Amino acid sequence: MRRGTPTTLALAAASALAILAPRRARAEAPLPDLVVHRTDDTADCPDAAALAARVDRHMKRPALRPRTDATTPGSDRPSLDVQIYRSEAGYTAVVQTGEKTRQITDKGATCRGLADAMAITLAILLDTEVPPPPPDPVPPPEPPKTAELAPRLPPMPLVDAEPTTEPEPAQPAPIEAFTAPPRTFRVVAGAGATAATGLLTRLALGSTGHIGLGIGRVFSVEAGFLVLPTQTVPYSGKVKGAPATATPTIDLDLTSAIFRLCATARVLTEDTRAGLCAGALIGTIRGEGHGFVTNASATDPWIAGNLGAILEQTLFWRLSLVTRASVYVPVLRRSFTVNNVDAASDPQAFSPASVGAGLDAELRLSIW
């Protein structure tokens, strides 16, 4: 067998060193960025760090890199942009991944339900839609150290090489903050109790209710009812032919429809609004006598103007407490009289007051 030459031995040693040389460990792929924008009334919602931690627990591995600044992430790292705001519909989150947008809404009184839904949604998006970041390029293996085995070559002359400049990657367009369009109208309904004076008697208790259409955040149009049930008042006059020991009485009741226009504004907090209402009442007033020689009843039309102040306080979810202080001015005033009375007695059984007042308390539900 022929003995190998020095050149052959050098090449063999170089090949062995190239195979056995340790390769540089590949760096872990960078995580997608997560940016969270919150408004003042959604401060109870998780920020980027808290939301990323929730997603990590769902995926059982580090999945997102939270960003606390508002700068746009670099083009070499896919990102998730979350916009959180609050409206009458509840808490809403808009998740933007590249060119696609997802919207999540929760009607709860706190942000807890929305936070859970956002974490699950982001975990699903990371598995289905958001592509993983490109891995870092693997550096070429280091050349084997064969200086002692390879034959020495004469030094090469140095040549100035023109510097090469790589074009900078194009930066993506900044993500504009999402702003929910304001709701132009809303539908509400309410019912409650009322206490009135000057309409039938000095104090009459009844019921009231309404259904309304809100226009913007200030104006609303309402239609409802006002019912004052039977109020019994004694008749002080003397009736011809009636027993002297008997005291005649008169039953009075009022049923009316209400139409009004209200204007309110926020006071102190977002959940409290106050304003004024003006409208009209159209209905009937009914009287029925008892204990007279001949008992009779009568029903007459009743119309009044209305002006009042309103205060609305949100209780929870879409339920609020509405209180009103109103003044009623009867426009069509009708009186009830009694026939066959003594000349010294007043024939009037009921005469309405020129001005009445009322205090309402209602529970209002925002239907839409």
Residue 5 clears pLDDT 60, i.e. is over it? no
| Pairwise CA distance, residues 313 & 268, whole Å | 11
The pLDDT assigned to 226 comes to 96
At 242, is the pLDDT very low, low, confident or very high (cuts 50, 70, 90)? low
Weakest-pLDDT range from 136-140, 166-170, 176-180, 194-198: 176-180
Q: What sign does the dihedral 300-301-304-309 (CA atoms) show?
A: positive
The pLDDT assigned to 166 comes to 64
Residue 115 clears pLDDT 50, i.e. is over it? yes
The domain 33-128 is classified under which CATH number: 1.25.40, 3.30.160, 1.10.287, 1.10.3470? 3.30.160
What percent of the chain has a predicted confidence (pLDDT) above 90? 29
Residue 273 clears pLDDT 70, i.e. is over it? yes
pLDDT tens digit sequence for 121-137: 888 888 776 655 555 56
Q: Under the phi-then-psi rule, with left for phi > 0, alpha for psi from -120 to 50, and beta for the rest, what region is 84?
A: beta
Weakest-pLDDT range from 81-95, 220-234, 343-357: 343-357
In this structure, whether the domain defined by 185-366 belongs to CATH 2.40.160.20 is answered with yes
Q: Would you report the helix, strand and coil content of the chain in percent, each value rounded to 5?
A: 15, 45, 40
Weakest-pLDDT range from 58-72, 110-124, 286-300, 312-326: 58-72
Where is pLDDT greater, at 124 or 348? 124
Mean pLDDT taken over the chain: 79
The pLDDT assigned to 21 comes to 42
pLDDT tens digit sequence for 51-108: 889 888 888 888 888 887 655 544 455 578 888 988 887 899 888 887 688 888 888 8
The pLDDT assigned to 126 comes to 81
The pLDDT assigned to 262 comes to 95
Give residue for tokens 């919602």: 45
The domain locations on the chain are: 33-128, 185-366
At 174, is the pLDDT very low, low, confident or very high (cuts 50, 70, 90)? low
Pairing mode, strands 65-67 and 33-38: parallel
